[in-house]
A = this chain, B = another copy of it.
């Protein structure tokens, strides 16, 4: 057995951030990207540019890889089933991944597993939506079952008639109670085909308009809630047969934690692990999909903060490095090679230290400076 080839479907920043750990492990990374200028395609030799929604293109790509994994959840489930039937190693497998692709399937399965969720229902029209809202109270959260991310495919509905446009497209929608939460949490867990699992500390995530802005590790919550959150993430990883990284986004409520969303790949809520944990989520994902024993998840410092750099007024972020690094020799900047567009995630910054308020302020400052919100 020589060094294996890991193929990543999708050329975004998650694939890009797997590149460094793959280089260090001596594992070959291959990327299937939509276009040659994509984030990961810029930095990974031999990137294949092809249509990831075409089964034959996926098959061609998979033939050059020992294991196939993902940068996102947009690959058609039926294509993954076909590849598995042909003997390709797909990790996570289609039977697990569908829970991150289809929120209706996810809710049904988590409920069957006994994982605490917000109250939910799959509804096929305005009458059914009205019935749910009248029963549990308005407003409610309406979601498309597939295709949503970063706040897309999710809306708050005050009364049933508002949703006529979405129902007009056909198909079922997922409706959920609007949860009254104290904060949003996330748990990253890795699981290997062997069944070994490793869980990271629970983090607090700050979302603005459905987009992750900041992550603070560890979350300042009770030990009971933290353990319940980690338990839920481990139960989901085991119950769904996840391989690789699973990110579980949760609400922290007075009554306990409720699962909001799942992702089966390295996730924005785990970027802090690059500096903040003994093994980053990107190395851990590679180890998990390769069925290697998992690495230590403990933190490298008592407090870690991550702030996303969203596109703002400034098109060129590199000149900002001078001030950011001079201002704070401890800040670490990560850029994804993406053109700046307002609101687009183009990078992130991380700080580590002993004091929660200090690391937060430093990370928020650096990200704000890079995007041009502040000038000193």
Contact = CB atoms under 8 A, between A and B. Distances in A.
Choose among A301, A318, A319, A322 the residue with the greatest number of B CB atoms under 10 Å from its CB.
A318
Contacts of A16: 23
Copy total for this chain:
2
A375 B47 CA distance: 38
A236 interface: no
Given A301-B300, A347-B26, A1 B319 contact: yes
Contact of A19 (B20, B329, B330, B337): B20
A337 B26 contact: yes
Contacts of A322: 292-293
Given A23-B16, A25-B333, A295 B2 contact: no
Count chain B CB atoms within 10 A of each CB in A20, A24, A326 and give the residue with the most. A24
Contacts of A23: 16-17, 19-20, 43
A278 B325 contact: no
Contacts of A335: 3, 24-26
A24 B21 CA distance: 11
A334 interface: yes
A317 B26 CA distance: 10
Given A1-B316, A278-B330, A287-B325, A336 B26 contact: yes
Contact of A21 (B20, B25, B325, B329): B20
A294 interface: yes
Interface string A39-80: 000111101000000000000000000000000000000000
Contacts of A330: 278, 295-296
Interface residues of A, number: 50
Given A2-B316, A296-B330, A325-B295, A20 B24 contact: yes
Contacts of A292: 321-322, 325
Nearest to A19: B23
A298 to B, nearest CB: 9
Contacts of A301: 300
Interface in A231-255: none
A306 to B, nearest CB: 13
Interface in A304-354: 316-319, 321-322, 325-326, 329-330, 332-337, 347, 352
Interface string A278-300: 11000000010000111110001
A131 interface: no
Contacts of A300: 300-301
Contact of A293 (B44, B45, B325): B325
